Structure 1
C-alpha cells in the first residue's frame, strides 16, 4: 500500500461554481469520504480557506519577503486534499476521478514517499 494525495486545484471560475452550489458540493464530499472509508483507503482530508486570507513567504531574495494573498498571476490554486492509502497509482487515479469537483477544476495525484525513502 502507498499513500497518495489527491490535490484539489481550482480556478476562480471553478471555485465560484463550487460556492454557488456549496450545499450540494458538501453533501457530495461527505458521500465521497464515506465511500473512501467503506473501501478502507481513507487517511484524511482537509480544505483550505480563501486564498485571499493567506500570505506568501517568498525566499527569492536574501531575506524572506511576506506578501498578502496568493501568488500573483496564479491561474490554479491548491484548495484542499484527500489522502488515501491504496495499492497503486492506478487505484489512486480511479479515486481521483470520483473527487467531487466543479467544472474546470483539476485533481493532481501525487505519491507520498514513506519515511524510509527520505534521504537522511
Structure 2
C-alpha cells in the first residue's frame, strides 16, 4: 500500500466516524479544494517574485504555506477517493499527453499554449 493510499484510507475513516460522507460530494469537495487554493494564493498574492522565492525562509510564513498545501492535498486526495480516481495514474497520463503536445524543439523556453491534440 502506497503512502497516498494510506492517506486516502485515513481520510475516508476520518469522514466516516464523523458521519461526514454525505457532505463529501464531488461538488462540495471541489469547492473546498478551490477555497484552499485561494487561501494559498492569498499567502503569496502581494509578494514580489524575490519575496515569493524565499518565502520558506520565514518560519511563520513557511508554516502557513505548509498548512495550506496540506489542506489542498487533503481535499484533492479525498475528492479522488470519492470519485475513485487514481490521481497519480491520472497525472502520469496527463503528463504523457503534455509531453506529446509540447515537444521540446518547439516549446523549449516558450510559455505559449499548444493547440489541442487531434
TM bracket (short chain): under 0.3
TM norm structure 2: 0.27
Determine which structure has greater relative contact order: mean sequence separation of CA pairs < 8 Å that are 6+ residues apart, divided by chain length.
1
Greater share of strand residues, 1 or 2?
Answer: 1
Greater share of helix residues, 1 or 2?
Answer: 2
Task: From the CA coordinates, give the structure whose radius of gyration is larger.
Answer: 2
TM norm structure 1: 0.27
